[in-house]
Structure 1
Amino acid sequence: MNNHVDHSVGGDDAARLESLGYKSEFRRDMSLWANFALGFTYLSPVVGIYTVFGISLALGGPPMIWALLIAGLGQLLVALVFGEVVSQFPLAGGVYPWARRLYGRKWAWLTGWVYLMALFSTIAGVAYGAAPYVASFVGFEAGLYSSVICALGILAIATAINFMGTKVLAQAAIIGFLAEIIGALVVGTYLIVFHRHQDFSVLLNTFGSEKDGSYLAAFCAASLIGVFQYYGFEACGDVAEEVPDPGRRIPKSMRRTIYIGGAAATFVCLALTLSVVDFRAVIDGTNTDPVATILTSAFGPIGAWGVIGVVLISFLSCVMSLQAAASRLVYAYARDRMIFCSGLLSKFSHEKFVPPYALLLSAVVPAIVVIGSMISTGALMKIIGFSSVGIYIAFQMVVYASVRARFKGWKPSGEYQLGKWGMLVNLGALAYGLVAIIVIGWPRTPDVAWYDNWIVFLSAGVVIGVGLLYMAIARPHLRSDAPYGDAAQQPLTGPSSERSLA
């Protein structure tokens, strides 16, 4: 009986995909639970907080935690917009095909280009951020060269897991999710119950982090912890062709990723903040690694070793989820002949049901970024800064395309719809995203050369400029005959009873 139902759903999904102009090649092996786990491990409360906690605490003191609440609410609006779009266009690759159907070919190509470069940078940033924990786990001093080697090792392992196929990816995502829960809830609860040194009043105490300037400037600088945390939910849609009944399941996974991932991230940040003994030592740079200090003090050398092992699983699963998202975007680009080497990058393994060369590219480019980080001071923060601003720019390109399509008569027709709240949610998401982009890219290092200080905006400008130049010369957007700009012409496909914000 169950097999009959699955087969029927799979048949309907294949027909739906064919109606959108594509042939089904992926296996729909990813359950609702696994799809949520993929988005959760991509968002990764443990990775996001453990990577940026020390930096943000030094820049803004304990009140930096409120950036998580602000960013969470803003990105929830974006997730609601994405849920509505993916419900109507459940296509592999996420933001690229969504922008293509909502706006057009040029806009879609540039959206996908910016998102892809930011994804590659994010993969590199997470792998690089894992290096100190690898060093602590194995027992050596983390340095420039050892950090690069550790990051490359994390990349290699994640790539090997992804090559094993969708089913293994789903299982690995669930293991990563369990590691995240242990790292977030179990460790966080232990710290609050047994290793708490501060009361909640410190969450409103800046401890002089503003120095001689405005605390607003310090808070904006420290808010990187919030904006870096809340993306990953879109990965649920990047694998839309691997999920049964995606129009219903993926929007639900996206929302759950924000709700549960955001709550877990805030709890981790709270537990770590209340466990800091001396905030001024972090702010003045005396204690440069407060997370390691807290874990060693709370759990002892052996206990801290075990906790770090769990944290490393979280880092690995995050890199793995990011690679899965990036490779599906590369594949979606390539099958529309929108990128160089499309013939190779669009090849598909019907044995493992993965795009192997797209996966390989999603390992090679981040590895180049990791190696290239050796020429820059403060590499991790700059990688994270560009990753965040690139992701946010790509997100806002889709949100803007959605707003534009609504003004041109688009009436969302998937199983999940925002109804009368649609335009308001879209405009709120757009406003939040534009402010967040400014906050992310604003200079944080006034003592360095101007180009280093403005490197986030400069790197984003270079990526967009190169993309526009390539598009003008090679005209990749003209190579595909896949549908584009047709959102307003799509027939209704979802039952009216499902049109709700819930």
Structure 2
Amino acid sequence: MPRELGWYASFSVAFGFVSIATGIFTTYGAVLATSGPRGIWAWPIAVVGQLTVALVFGALAARIPISGYSYQWVSRIVGPVWGWIMGWISFAFLGVVVVAVDYTIASTILPELFRYVGTTQNAWAITAVVVLLQAVLVALSTRSTHKVNSVAVTVQLIGMIALTVLLFAVGAFTGKLDFGNLFDTASVPADGYYALGGATEAGPFALAFLLGAFTIVGFESAANLAEETREPARVIPKAMVRAVISLGVLGFLFLVAITAAAGKVAGVGTSETPVATVITAVLGSVVGKVLLVLVVISIFSCGLVITLSGTRLVYAMSRDERFPGWRLLRRVDRRTATPLNASVFMLLVAQAILALFSRSTDALFELFSAATLLPALIYAGTIAMYIAKRKSLPPTRGFALGRWEVPVLVVASVWLAYELLIFRDASFRAPWTYVLVLFAIGAVYFAGLLRRRGRQGLTMPDMADVDRTLDAADAADVTAEGSPR
């Protein structure tokens, strides 16, 4: 596959996957219910935690800029068995998160936009169509996919900035801002608000961290397209860090605006779509609907990037002959220059997960919970690997943590340990079930793989081979750019 992605395309992939519009529209209602308006103050802490993770991922991407990110890194640095486990977890995450993202459009925005009653049935049908459209676009053209995503990211930037400014301006002019609401716990008891909780329950403030933990994920998707990016070791780390910082700042300003306005809007606490309800109440029906359309575009872009990342991960694992059906899934279609079979496979996986969760009356919460738990496991495993092997990592090709390496690793480790402890809460039983079922399926396949090949048959290229491959690809890019067209 050709290297045709520049710095803005790489940034757009990271920015588009994270998509604060998606995360906030999906989880804000749950935060109000479990933590009250005061829960938004967990956001800045979560952003700092995820930023340290992004810095570590940037350091790894600069050393091994190959499609497959954590799967490739762990396979080559620790060993193929642990790498396969990381790849399978990543596959499980990408399969469920695209459904969670697209389900947000059907369940929280379109009902408010077109004034109809949302049900599990129509949410299922709409989500299925959205997933199909994204898969078709990814399968047909990588270049078109990135063009659509770049436009959508630009729309999201403009739309979210405009939405935030308008909420502050119109809210202040009409007297619909109540900044005291930022510190209110509403129906959540104030006593024990910051308590850690018990063995099977997390405290109210702890649950609020899920807002940032669900939203600020996926920045590593830029690394998953390393083989299609020009100068990936230099471009990708900066793209990930810039995406987390910009989204963290913009997201918090938007949360402050929404929460301040929510204090003067009746019925927000009981609304199925609290963010959309506040926007419409403050800005009016016409302006509110225009901005909600921009949010739909942003969320569609997010699902598009997730589909693209999932396809590339399946392709990368199949290319290494260690994914179910790898003989078909590693093929690159000559006409489209995309891994077409892998795209169809990810479509089928997403549709199956949608059918599984859509029967639940609380499908959105279960989907976003599973899509928060899985990346936390991926991040924790990758950070642990980096800590264990940091003295023997290959030389960097464009980005390094330098003297900040140890402080960054400490903060990232503490943050991820705390985040994973939140999932001891009994409300996360369904997400854990999904994770365990996917792990069981993976374990059966991997046991068969080991029986057929043995550990010796799963060896990955050593770092010298990786460097030679990357150097050859870079040389080919230079030759191609200098040759007549």
Q: Does 1:223 align with 2:209?
A: yes
Question: What count of residue pairs does the alignment treat as equivalent?
Answer: 456
Counterpart of 2:184? 205
Match of 1:462 among 437, 448, 452: 437
Q: Which moved more, 1:350-359 or 1:107-116?
A: 350-359
Match of 2:299 among 286, 302, 315: 315
Q: Does 1:97 align with 2:72?
A: yes
Q: Does 1:422 align with 2:400?
A: no
Shift of 1:215: 4.2
Q: Which moved more, 1:196-205 or 1:390-399?
A: 196-205
Deviations for 1:341-384, whole angstroms, at most 9, x for unmatched residues? 10110001233222111111222111111111233231111111
Whole-angstrom distance in 2 between the partners of 1:33 and 1:362? 26
Q: Does 1:292 align with 2:271?
A: no
**Residue identity matched to 1:242:** E
Whole-angstrom distance in 2 between the partners of 1:298 and 1:199? 12
Question: Contact 1:85 / 1:412 at 8 angstroms: preserved in 2?
Answer: no
Question: Contact 2:112 / 2:273 at 8 angstroms: preserved in 1?
Answer: no
Q: Is the partner of 2:334 in helix, strand or coil?
A: coil
Counterpart of 2:144? 168
Deviations for 1:451-487, whole angstroms, at most 9, x for unmatched residues? xx52333433333343334322332765444325x59
Q: Does 1:246 align with 2:232?
A: yes
Whole-angstrom distance in 2 between the partners of 1:137 and 1:205? 29
Summarize the alignment of residues 92-491 of structure 1 with structure 2, pairs less than 5 Å apart. 92-132=67-107, 133-196=109-172, 197-210=176-189, 214-216=193-195, 217-277=203-263, 281-283=267-269, 286-407=270-391, 409-410=392-393, 412-439=395-422, 441-443=423-425, 445=427, 454-475=429-450, 479-483=457-461, 486=463
Identity percentage over the alignment? 25
**Residue identity matched to 2:20:** P
Deviations for 1:12-63, whole angstroms, at most 9, x for unmatched residues? xxxxxxxxxxxxxx11111100110111010001111111112212221222
Shift of 1:420: 2.8
Q: Is the partner of 1:90 in helix, strand or coil?
A: coil
Deviations for 1:283-323, whole angstroms, at most 9, x for unmatched residues? 4xx33332222122123333222122111101110000001
Shift of 1:281: 4.8
Structure 2: unaligned runs, 5 residues or longer? 196-202, 472-485
Cα separation, partners in 2 of 1:34 and 1:328, compared to 1, 3 Å: same
Shift of 1:84: 0.8
Whole-angstrom distance in 2 between the partners of 1:472 and 1:322? 28
Q: Which moved more, 1:302-311 or 1:141-150?
A: 302-311
**Residue identity matched to 1:274:** A
Question: Contact 2:3 / 2:229 at 8 angstroms: preserved in 1?
Answer: yes
Shift of 1:83: 0.7
Q: Is the partner of 1:239 in helix, strand or coil?
A: helix
Shift of 1:116: 0.8
Shift of 1:145: 0.5
**Residue identity matched to 2:449:** A
Question: Contact 1:184 / 1:267 at 8 angstroms: preserved in 2?
Answer: no
**Residue identity matched to 1:290:** P
Instruction: Output the TM-score relative to the length of structure 2.
Output: 0.88
CA RMSD across the alignment: 2.4
Instruction: Output the TM-score relative to the length of structure 1.
Output: 0.85
**Residue identity matched to 2:261:** S
Shift of 1:411: 5.5
Find runs of 4+ consecutive structure 1 residues off by over 4 angstroms: 278-283, 476-481
Q: Is the partner of 2:2 in helix, strand or coil?
A: coil
**Residue identity matched to 2:49:** G
Q: Which moved more, 1:332-341 or 1:47-56?
A: 47-56
Match of 2:11 among 36, 53, 61: 36
